[in-house]
Amino acid sequence: MRSTSRGPGQRAGLTRADVLTAARALLAEGGIEALSMRSLARRLGVAPNTLYSYVRSKTELLDEVLDGVLAEVRAPEADTPDPVAGISALMTSTYTVLLGHPDLVPVFLARQGARGANAVRLGEILDTLLRRAGVDESDVGQARRVLIVHAIGSAAFAAVGPDGERPLAPADVTAQFTRGLGWLLAGITAGSSPPGGAG
C-alpha cells in the first residue's frame, strides 16, 4: 500500500518552485544578507523546518536560484565547427544573461559561480570546446575559471551602484567585455592547432 503521509512542506501546500521564487524575491530586495532559512520561512508563512523538505541548506538554496538563471544561457553544440567562436558565443550569452539579473551578480561573485545541473552542463560544454581549441588538458580548468571570472566581473561593472548610478555606461562595459574576451581567447588558445585541425 502506498504511504499517504506527507512532509511538512507538502502539508503547508508549498512546492519547490514556491520556495525558489520566494528566495529569489528576498535576494532581489536585500541581497545575500537578506536571505536566510528563517527569513524565507517568514516570507512563506511557514516554520523554518518546513523548508528542509525542499532544500538542505541556504547554500543549496542559493545554488538552486543561480542555476535557474543559468538555464537562460544559450550554449552552442559542443561539436560546433569553430570551437573558439563557440566559446565566445557561450561566454557572451552568459554575460548577457547576468546583465538581465543584476541583483544576482553579487551572489554569483560570493559563490564564485554556480554548481547546479545547468552550471555543470555549461561547464562540460565549455571544457569540450576548450579542448577542441587545443587547450592542454591540464589547463582546461584554469581557462574555464578565467573566462567565468571575466563574465561575472564585467557584469558587476555594468551593475547599478548603491546610489542608483552606473559608474560606466552599459554599452561601454559590453564593448570592454567583448574586447577583453577576444584577448583572453587569443592568449588561452595561443600555440594550439587551428580550429578544425589536428590536435
Domains delineated in the chain: 8-55 (1.10.10), 69-188 (1.10.357.10)
Whole-angstrom distance, CA of residue 52 vs CA of residue 10: 11
What does the pLDDT average to over 43-61? 93
> With 50 as the cut, is the pLDDT of residue 11 above it?
no
Q: Residue 141 — φ and ψ, nearest 5°?
A: -60, -45
Q: Which three three-digit cell numbers place residue 56?
A: 538542505
Q: What is the pLDDT of residues 118-129, one digit of tens each?
A: 999 999 999 999
pLDDT, position 191: 58
Would the pLDDT of 85 be above 50? yes
- What pLDDT, on the 0 to 100 scale, is given for residue 199? 41
Residue 99 CB neighbours (<10 A): 18
**Cα three-residue angle 103-104-110, rounded to 5 degrees:** 125
For residue 2, name the pLDDT band (cuts at 50, 70, 90): very low
Distance of CA 162 to the CA centre of its chain: 22
Mean pLDDT, rounded, of the chain: 87
Cα separation of 169 and 85, whole Å?
26
**What pLDDT, on the 0 to 100 scale, is given for residue 171?**
84
Cell output for 120: 555543470
pLDDT of residue 197: 46
The neighbour count for residue 88, using CB atoms within 10 Å, is 19
* DSSP code for 81: S
Q: Which of 9-23, 90-104, 122-136 has the lowest mean pLDDT?
A: 9-23
* Beta-carbon count within 10 A of 171 CB: 9
Residue 41 CA to residue 36 CA, distance in Å, equals 8
> What is residue 115's predicted lDDT score, i.e. its pLDDT?
85
- Alpha-carbon distance 89 to 113, whole Å? 18
Q: How confident is the model at residue 45 (pLDDT cuts 50, 70, 90)?
A: very high
With H, G, I as helix, E, B as strand and everything else as coil, classify residue 191: coil
- Rg (alpha carbons) of the chain, rounded to whole number: 20
**When comparing pLDDT for 167 and 58, which is higher?**
58
Q: If 0-12 CB within 10 Å is exposed, 13-18 middle and 19+ buried, where does residue 175 land?
A: exposed
pLDDT in tens, 140-199: 999 999 999 999 999 988 876 555 566 677 788 899 999 999 999 999 999 554 444 444
Which conformational region is residue 31 in: left (phi greater than 0), alpha (psi within -120 to 50 degrees), or beta?
left
Least confident of 6-10, 17-21, 28-32, 120-124: 6-10
